[in-house]
Amino acid sequence: MRISPKTVSSASIIIILFLVIFIGATTKMKTNSIRLPKTIDSWTRPDSPRIVTSQNIFDYMNGAGELYLGYRFDHLEVYEYTSSQEDDILVELYFMATSDDAFGLLSLDWGGERVTLSDSAQNVKSQAQSHWVRALYGEGLLRIWTDKLYARVMATRETPASKKAVLSFGKAITGDQKNLPEPGLLKALSSQMGSDWILRKDRMSFFRSYLVLNSIYYLSPQNILELDHSVEAVTAPYEKASEAGDAKRIQFLVVKYENPERARNALDHFHDAFLPEHKKDIQPDSTVENPSVFEVEEGWMGYKLKGKYLAIVFDCTDQELAQNIIHQNVSNLSKMEE
């Protein structure tokens, strides 16, 4: 059969495109992959991991998949280490699009004992200087944020031997990774408001999804803040000890959108859904000092739009406190933009 030059050209293009895609995907996987040891102590893994993507994540985990998809998730590699002497150890490596996404997953739960896994002088120094931990261990579970990776290493049953092995896995995972800085938006939240209200950094979370927000601070069954993978958001409570010893909390939230127009549209949506009985008082002008504040069933809440940022506070005890918290943290945003 005679093949025309046009046919050869088309076939060549298809082959070239296939090779480019295949090599690109292989290179990406090679770049992402962590070289875990075949054996640690009495535990041994299979030759290859189970690969989980956004298409089959719900086959691997029931319900919790939404949590990971709420961040910019690339893929998950799962290793099951078995031992004839001990219970299994599961290693999960979540490869994310950015370091911020990996930090976000760790930030959803700051519980556990802070551990240092890297022996390099640079990483030890950077961890000592930072409030933000890189790894937390408790009851057989080790959780790690390193570079663009979030990892979980879990012993089915905690023993002295399994704890030693789990921490050894952690060192293997973090060995060649970089300690990138935490999301810049965290700097918007002042550590203290007046002399009474203290920021709970151990409850500060970075997220992009309204489903993740609802797991931290329930707002609405709908996406009334128009959150998606293009935004950055941080929330944390401020806490004050009352005379009776009970802690009072207010919740602060700041969202960074792609542009001022998206931020304005999101605030319109939020107000219509969350404050339908209140007159809309949206002031996008950064020269306007006072935020919009409203008395609601749970106390006082308020918001302020500043360019592509939207700041909101909930559960305040009075109007002045709501205004002060927004004003001070929005001022921090202005300094960050300078």
Lowest-confidence segment of 56-70, 85-99, 113-127 by average pLDDT:
113-127
Angle made by CA atoms 201, 176, 121, in degrees to the nearest 5 = 65
Find the mean pLDDT for residues 308-320.
96
What does DSSP assign to residue 288?
-
Q: Which of 181, 218, 184, 201 is nearest to 110 (CA)?
A: 201
Find the mean pLDDT for residues 88-111.
97
Find the distance separating the first CA and the last CA of the chain, reported in whole Å: 69
Structural Rg of the chain based on CA atoms: 24
SS (H, E, C) 157-171: CCCHHHHHHHHHHHH
Lowest-confidence segment of 178-182, 188-192, 304-308 by average pLDDT:
178-182
In contact, 183 and 102? CB cutoff 8 Å: no
Between 128 and 204, name the one with better pLDDT: 204
What residue segments make up the domains of the chain, in order of their start? Answer: 34-174, 184-337
Report the Cα 206 to chain-centroid distance in Å.
5
Q: Which amino acid is at 246?
A: D
Find the mean pLDDT for residues 310-317.
96
Asked if pLDDT for residue 4 goes beyond 80, the answer is: no
In contact, 238 and 252? CB cutoff 8 Å: yes
Query: Any idea which residue has 């049953």 for tokens?
Result: 157
Percent of the chain with pLDDT over 70: 82
Residue 182's pLDDT is 95
Between 106 and 242, name the one with better pLDDT: 106
Element (H, E) at 295: strand 292-296
Q: Which two tokens mark 21?
A: 């895609």
| C-alpha–C-alpha distance, residues 170 and 118, integer Å | 9
Asked if pLDDT for residue 286 goes beyond 60, the answer is: no
Q: Which two tokens mark 242?
A: 């009352």
Report pLDDT digits (tens) over 132-164: 789 999 999 999 999 999 999 999 999 999 999
The structure's pTM equals: 0.86
Report the Cα 328 to chain-centroid distance in Å.
24
CATH architecture type of domain 184-337? 3-Layer(aba) Sandwich (3.40)
Most confident of 1-15, 19-33, 37-51: 37-51
Q: Which two tokens mark 23?
A: 């090599």
Q: Which two tokens mark 206?
A: 């970075």
Q: Which residues pair with 150 in a beta bridge?
A: 94, 145
Residue 335's pLDDT is 85
| C-alpha–C-alpha distance, residues 288 and 295, integer Å | 20
Report pLDDT digits (tens) over 240-257: 976 556 789 999 999 999
Query: Any idea which residue has 């500043």 for tokens?
Result: 306
